[in-house]
Amino acid sequence: MAGLPVLRAALQRPWAKPVLFVLCLCPLAWLVAAAFTDQLGANPAEALERALGRWTLRFLCLALAVTPLRVLTATPQLARFRRMLGLFVAFYALLHLLAYAWFDMGLELAEVLHDIAKRPFILVGTLALALLALLAATSFQGAMRWLGGARWRALHRSVYVVACLSLLHFFWMRAGKNDFSEVAVYAVILGLLLGWRVWHAYKPGGRR
């Protein structure tokens, strides 16, 4: 791949992370602008809430794609962007939950808790967010030193549980309308990303 040396050099530049940060905020900026200009359809609150959920899944796919891309393209420079992408997964998931709590429940905490306990698809989504919050809080070097490398890696493998819970949340949410086409797309992408990790770990000479 002739362009890889240029890409590797660009990924090492000081401006690479700020550029990625701005790009990660672009979906939110577009959604806010669309909300203020009445471009979210007849039910803008629902459209905003669901769009934030989709972007959570997209950033989760991007974060999980870093390691396979790094290995398959021999581009170790990609690893420096993994934490930022992971933090944006948690950021968009939190916004998704806040949109639900605000637009659907009027920010009434008791109503939110009752609804979470009553509706399984919201419960699994909340569990996924709780795990994401834990991963985000322990994503820094200080947490790694405090936990120790082995425990830190074991904890951060729970991102695979997050992927499964997020997909289940999306599946149950779409079950009411019997529309699973978009769910299938994310299932294939996440299945490939997680399947690659299983194959890479258990192939001859792979890490276990």
At residue 207, the pLDDT reads: 54
207 within domain boundaries:
no
Q: What is the pLDDT of residues 94-113, one digit of tens each?
A: 999 999 999 888 889 999 99
Q: What is the pLDDT of residues 57-97, one digit of tens each?
A: 999 999 999 999 999 988 999 999 999 999 999 999 999 99
Least confident of 72-86, 163-177, 194-208: 194-208
Coil vs helix vs strand at 43 = coil
Q: Mean pLDDT score of the chain, rounded to an integer?
A: 90
Question: What is the span of the domain harbouring residue 45?
Answer: 4-202
82 contact partners, CB below 8 Å, separation of at least 6: 63, 66, 67
198 within domain boundaries:
yes
208 within domain boundaries:
no
At residue 208, the pLDDT reads: 43
99 within domain boundaries:
yes
Among residues 91, 157, 171, the alpha carbon closest in space to that of 129 is found at: 91
Rounded Cα distance between 33 and 19, Å, is 20
Q: What is the pLDDT of residues 110-137, one digit of tens each?
A: 999 999 989 999 999 999 999 999 999 9
170 within domain boundaries:
yes
**Tokens in use for 12?**
């090492």
Is the CB of residue 88 less than 8 Å from the CB of residue 138? no
Average confidence (pLDDT) over 148-171? 92
Split into its structural domains, the chain has a count of 1
At residue 57, the pLDDT reads: 96
**Global pTM?**
0.92
